[in-house]
Structure formats: C-alpha cells, structure tokens
Amino acid sequence: MEHYDVCVIGAGYGGATVAALLAKSGRRVALIDKTPVAGGKVQTVDRKGYRFEMFGAVGIPAHDSRFHELVEELDIGDQVEFLIPEGDAASVRYKTPAGEWRVMYSPLRQTGAPKEMEDLRRVFDATDEDLDAMAKLYATALSLTDDEIAALDDVGMLEWMKPFGLPSGLESQICMNLNTLFVVAVDRLAASEAILAMRQQVLGGAGRYSVGGYARLAEACANYVVKQGGVFLSRQRVKRIVVDGGRVVGVETDRGELRADAIVSNAGIQPTVLALAGAEHFPSDYVDRVTALEPSWAIAGYRYVLDERIFDAALIPIFSDQSWLDEARYQDMARGVWPDVPLIAVDVPSEFDPSLSPVPGHQIANCQVFCSPDPRSTQWKEAIERADEILNELWPDLEDHIIRKEPYGPRAISSLSRDSVLPGCGGEAVGLAQVVGQVGSMKPDPRTPLPGLYLVGCDAGGRGAGTHQAVDSGFNVAAMVDADLG
Ligand SMILES: Cc1cc2nc3c(=O)[nH]c(=O)nc-3n(C[C@H](O)[C@H](O)[C@H](O)COP(=O)(O)OP(=O)(O)OC[C@H]3O[C@@H](n4cnc5c(N)ncnc54)[C@H](O)[C@@H]3O)c2cc1C
C-alpha cells in the first residue's frame, strides 16, 4: 500500500494551498479530489471551447493578497498571471425607494476621489453630512488595532455600524457588499471579520482574477505537488478516513487505500468528523459542537454565454434598500416574502479575461442570488426566477443574446464541494458561517481531537472572505502540520 507523509482530502483552495506548501517543505503529499480538476467551489471548466466559472468568482483583496504570497512562495509566477482591471470595472444598479433605477460606474479600488463622492450624492441622494458619516465609519475601521478588531468577534456588524448613522442608501451599499462577501446575515456577521475585509477592500481593491480562469492558482498548486514527487488523484472520492490505535493512518477511496502520517481534510468539518472519520472517534462534546455549527447561505444563479457584450462591467451589484439581508429578512424570504429586488451580483469573467471565449466579443457571465444552503430545498428556483425578472427589466434584450444559460443551486455547489451530512447543510457557498460565536477563539481548531487529523479551508484555520480565507487557512495549516510532523 502506497505511503505518504500527508494525504490532503479535497483540492479546493484550502486543500490545494496546504498540499503545495507541504510539498515545498519536502513532504511527500497525496492530494485527492472527487472531481476532475482542482479549485473546489471555484473550479474553472472547459465547455465547447469556452472557459467557464462554475460559480462566479473574483478575489478580495485584489492586490497584496494571500494569492500573491502563494505564487511567490511557490515561485510559479510563470503559470499564474493575475488580472486586476483599471478604470470603472464595476457598474452598480440601485433602485431608489421611488422605484427609479440609477447607475454608478466605479473603479474596483475606491479612493474617495471627487467623482466618486459626486456619484454617491447622485445615486443615493447622499448629503455632505451623510458622506461625512461614511468617511468616519471607514476611518474608524482603518484605525483599529489588531486587538481592537479581535475584541469585535462577539459584536454583530450591523450593531457596530449603527452609531455612525448612515442614511439608508449608503447603509444598503455597505450591507449588500458584506452579504456578498460573507453570504450571511449582516446583523449576525462578526464585526471583526467584516472590518478586516472592508480594510482589505479599501487598501487592496476588490477584483482579482487570473488569466485562464479563477481556479488557475489551485490548478498550479496541484501540478506543483506532482512536480515535487507527490500525486494529484482526481476523480477519486475518499469514502473513509482509516483510524487505527487511536490515530488516523490513511484513507480509503473508491479506488483503493493509501497510508499517511497526517490527513488534512478540505471536505468540510461536518462531513469529515461525522461521516469520513466517524463520530465514535471523537469526544461527545466535540461531536455536539460540530453538529451544531451553522453554515453560510448558498448562492444560486445562472451561468451565461452571450453572443455579444450585454453586461457593461466586470462586476455588477443590483439592489434596493430592501435587498440586503439581516436574519429577519432572510427568514422572510424563507417564508416566501421577497424584497422588491433580490440582492443580485453579476460577475463577468470575460471582462477580466476576454480569451476565456474562443469567439471574440462573446461574453461569459454569472448571475448570483442568495438562498438556503439545503441541497434539498427548492427555494433557489424561486430566487433565480426573481433575479431573472430583474435582469430582463434592466437588459431587455438579454434573452435574445443567450447562447447558453445554465441554472444552478445548492445541490450543484454540494456536488463540487462538501457532502450533505446534516439536514440543511452541504450547499453552503463559503463554508462555516462567519457569525458571532463561530469566529476568532470560537472557530474550530484545524487540529482535531483525533491525532493526525487536521482541517483546512473555510471551516478552520483562516480569516477573510471566501477563497482568500481558504488560502489563508492553507498557509496556517501547512505550518501547523509541518511543525507537528517534525
Ligand atoms: C456561487 C458562489 C460564488 C462565490 N463567489 C466567490 C467570490 O467571488 N470570491 C471568493 O473569494 N469566494 C467566492 N465564493 C466562496 C468560495 O468559493 C469558497 O469560500 C471557497 O472556494 C471554499 O474553499 P475551501 O478550500 O474551503 O473548499 P471547497 O472549495 O469547498 O473545496 C472542497 C474540495 O474538497 C473536495 N471533496 C469534498 N469531499 C471529498 C471527498 N470525500 N473525497 C474527495 N474530495 C472531496 C471537493 O471536490 C472540493 O474540491 C463563492 C462560492 C459560490 C458557491
């Protein structure tokens, strides 16, 4: 039976990062994924010559990110080229309380330039006083020390924002952005996580993509593992983590068994503990805690190929004052009471990298809207139908230019990431919800109570938004495993 130093289950951004970094430090690594390619939830696939994001993906921060550090650390700059658009790459569509649609084109790194301030006045009817309040909010967020931020682990973001007294339009803009970054209710989102991401966004900008697709760096990490003498076993599902003598010793896949000194799982904390290893190998209070963990929401939407440039920017958020979601509004949606505009984010990868389309001028886009993470729920269908109505209102000729339109929901997310092992879980867009009670010291430790078993990705070990959190976790967990292996 083949023996490795480390076996990594899952080649999402967390798994791919930890595998590559451990391979770099001389460990013999087996990286295993149930799907054909690396990237997990943000994998890029080929469809009839088009490079396609399975789910929309852009990185935050754009500059000076953990992605940049990883490329440098592995010295793979020749394989991964980041694309960060200059100029007005975002176009905001805001529906006023009076029902008028307003448009705002803006750069992905806001600078507070006079034109940006003028746009905020025009689109959100913001007064000088309102803009001062917003400036104070950002200045406070930027001036907090690390300890002051950590002290906000137990404070909800909406509560932290309230004293600044933002008017509803500017509040909506910030809250919809936070919903989009974390895919959880803004009132329950931990202020510590939110402020960190806002700072990264202000200092490093909002849109990072890479030539050839968002998953390029994850693919390069998998190749790196192989180059260093390890293996990338794609299309192999890990069925069981093998435990012997009170510690993990290997994994059983649908093609056989392999042995390793350490197992790092990117398959999600609940599937790893409750299904792959088995609850019987953990203390009962740990199992109870893992069972009670709450996932982020899911994102449903459509993948499009269009026969001409219909969407006029790389990133298009669409919202009204009713669109951003706190817990009460999310529960309303679950009961069938929808806002006038469901919060929609349109990502247009071909605006970042036109070479994704084999036909010049064709557009590849992804429309996204929030829904329940339960793979069995049908709420996502209503969410995308409602999003469709809004898109057709804003771009009346959209339907005439569709070459391909693929709907997706939480079941599709689960199939490319974690299995559903508990009711209501599996289709989450991010991973563990970054809400009060689940971040900072309350976040699960990557080192599980079962010796030799570690967690990586958006459930443990990292901070930040989406894939940036997964890569951050990959760095931290690689250092931990390396130290433990000695
Ligand atoms: C629609 C959508 C839009 C998003 N937009 C953005 C965005 O714009 N920017 C951003 O940064 N983030 C975005 N995210 C969130 C981001 O994709 C995730 O937070 C991140 O990719 C999670 O990474 P991860 O390493 O935790 O794990 P995952 O990506 O979930 O990877 C887990 C991997 O484990 C594998 N696996 C699981 N079980 C097994 C098993 N038993 N055997 C073998 N392999 C297994 C899976 O196949 C998968 O490859 C989006 C997510 C969705 C769904």
Residue 44 host element (H or E) = strand 44-47
Apex 111 CA angle, 65 and 464, nearest 5:
30
96 pLDDT more than 90: yes
- The pLDDT value recorded for residue 110 is 78
Average pLDDT over residues 297-322: 97
- The pLDDT value recorded for residue 56 is 77
- Counting every residue written for the chain, the total comes to 486
Determine whether the shortest distance from the Cβ of 195 to ligand 1 is under 6 A: no
298 band by pLDDT with thresholds 50, 70 and 90: very high
Asked if residues 218 and 422 have their Cβ atoms less than 8 Å apart, the reply is no
Q: How far, in Å, is the centroid of ligand 1 from the Cα of 458? A: 8
The strand pair at 3-9 and 29-32 is best described as parallel
Average pLDDT over residues 191-220: 95
Which residue's CA is minimally distant from atom 6 of ligand 1? Answer: 57
Which residue's CA is minimally distant from atom 14 of ligand 1? Answer: 466
The residue whose CB lies within 8 Å of the most ligand 1 atoms, and thus the one to mutate among 37, 60, 264, 266, is 266
Q: How far, in Å, is the centroid of ligand 1 from the Cα of 14? A: 8
Q: How far, in Å, is the centroid of ligand 1 from the Cα of 393? A: 32
295 band by pLDDT with thresholds 50, 70 and 90: very high
pLDDT digits (tens, 9 = 90+) for 448-458: 999 999 999 99
Please say whether the structural domain 3-42+66-81+212-293+417-422+432-485 has been given the CATH code 3.30.360.10: no
Residues sharing a CB contact under 8 Å with residue 466, sequence separation 6 or more, in sequence order: 57, 59, 60, 181, 430, 458
Report how far Cα 67 is from the mean position of its chain's Cα atoms.
14
Residue whose structure tokens are 């909010």 = 137
Residue 254 host element (H or E) = none
The residue whose CB lies within 8 Å of the most ligand 1 atoms, and thus the one to mutate among 42, 234, 254, 264, is 42
Determine whether the shortest distance from the Cβ of 431 to ligand 1 is under 6 A: yes
In terms of Cβ atoms closer than 10 Å to its own Cβ (0-12, 13-18, 19+), residue 256 is exposed
Q: Per residue in 326-349, is it b (16+ CB within 10 Å) or e — as a string?
A: beebbeebeeeeebebbbbbbbbb
pLDDT digits (tens, 9 = 90+) for 390-409: 999 999 999 999 999 999 99
Average pLDDT over residues 218-233: 98
pLDDT digits (tens, 9 = 90+) for 241-254: 999 999 999 999 99
Which residue's CA is minimally distant from atom 7 of ligand 1? Answer: 57
pTM above 0.85, yes or no: yes
Q: How far, in Å, is the centroid of ligand 1 from the Cα of 267? A: 9
Q: What does the domain layout of the chain look like in residue ranges?
A: 3-42+66-81+212-293+417-422+432-485, 111-204
Strand spans (E) along 107-224 = 209-210
Determine whether the shortest distance from the Cβ of 420 to ligand 1 is under 6 A: no
- The pLDDT value recorded for residue 47 is 87
Determine whether the shortest distance from the Cβ of 14 to ligand 1 is under 6 A: yes
Q: How far, in Å, is the centroid of ligand 1 from the Cα of 116? A: 34
Residue 462 CA to residue 473 CA, distance in Å, equals: 4
Strand spans (E) along 74-150 = 82-83, 90-95, 101-106
Determine whether the shortest distance from the Cβ of 42 to ligand 1 is under 6 A: yes
- The pLDDT value recorded for residue 263 is 98
Type of residue at 455: L
